[in-house]
Amino acid sequence: MSVLEALRVPEELSARVPAEQRGAGRDDVRLMVSRGVAVSHHAFRELPGLLRAGDVLVVNTSPTLAAAVNGRLGGDAMVVHFSTRGDDGRWAVELRDPDGRGSTRPRPGGPAGGLVRLPGGAQLVLQEPVGAGAAGPVGVAGPARLWWASVAVDVPGLLARYGRPIRYGYTERDQPLAAYQTVFARPSRDGSGSAEMPSAARPFTAGMVAELVSRGVQVAPVTLHTGVASAEAHEPPYPERFEVPASTAWLVGAARAGGGRIVAVGTTAVRALESATGEDGVVRAASGWTDLVVTPGRGVRAVDGLLTGLHEPEASHLLMLEAVAGREALGRAYAEALRRLYLWHEFGDVHLLLPDEGAH
């Protein structure tokens, strides 16, 4: 059995509060670096010295939404997670049961026709599981826990007034929405955003970005609005809306031509960039929905490195990491992460995967 197959993350290695509540700031986290199969350990603030002039960081600018709202279905209290807005105006939602400790437990979706009362007199009507029938913007099979729902109010406005960030049971308490925004987040024109934070970019500060730019490291934006991911189910990601602008496509092409490395900040940035990359390895401007799942079999075409958090062993993210770094390198890194007591999840430590210098 490999390290990854045997991996079990002890409960005490879950980051329960943001880094700034444990230490000196949100950049006060540890950074594990894999160069091929070699592993080294650093403070995140050392990142500028680990990159080179001409490298490009690809960052996700999607803002995090206050996507969790209390509701009632009949006499039952529940929490609604607003995941994704479809092209037809409906929303994919996940219903969760309150666990009495401020977090939630999974519950089955539906029933069809069920009316969920929301704060302020709003309500939604459950229609069908995501992936059922031809309706909806993404006609592929989806998890039954997610349902399409019609909502008779402006959802971004509803979330801004009554919502709070989605919180899972390993965290200690609710945090303000600001704790879930990255320095790269930008408001979208239609109020769309991510149900869950693109968390790999969370440790970056404005000062860090300025230092990177001063050293010749360039920053290129993409957008991918993340939907909800069940902490229990470890399902592969379903289709998400993304955009790779022409300026980013050009910058990535120019950097690669000049020998620079393309380092994605987060698995969402990988998914967006690879969705815009042809079989010829050229990144082109693109937008819409992506159902791409990056696996070792598919590999990566544009990305040379990845900055990411530490992922649960069952998570599909590990397949993407294996596609970037290779199984042996990933196994060695995760063994080191456990031995050195790195912290997992969105408020935890981060991992930089780079190609070894000899292979570059």
Tokens read off for 156 = 């971004």
Does the pTM surpass 0.85? The reply is: yes
The predicted structure's pLDDT at residue 116: 97
DSSP codes joined into one string, 106-151: E-----TT-EEE-GGG-EEEEEEETTSSS-SS--S---TTEEEEEE
Q: What pLDDT, in 10s, does the model give residues 305-315?
A: 999 999 887 66
Residue 4 pLDDT: 73
Query: C-alpha distances in angstroms, 120 versus 117, 153, 157, 158, 204?
Result: 9, 10, 11, 8, 36
Q: Which fold has domain 11-64+178-354?
A: QueA-like (3.40.1780)
Cα 127 to Cα 152: distance, rounded to the nearest angstrom: 13
Residue 359: its pLDDT value, please? Answer: 52
Distance from C-alpha of 8 to C-alpha of 278, rounded to nearest angstrom: 37
Low-confidence residues of the chain, pLDDT below 50? Answer: 134-143, 360
Main-chain dihedrals φ then ψ at residue 197, nearest 5 degrees: -60, 135
Model pLDDT for residues 154-190, shown as the tens digit of each residue: 999 999 999 999 998 899 999 999 999 999 999 998 8
- Tens of pLDDT, residues 113-122: 999 999 999 9
Length of the chain: 360
CB 134 within 8 A of CB 159: no
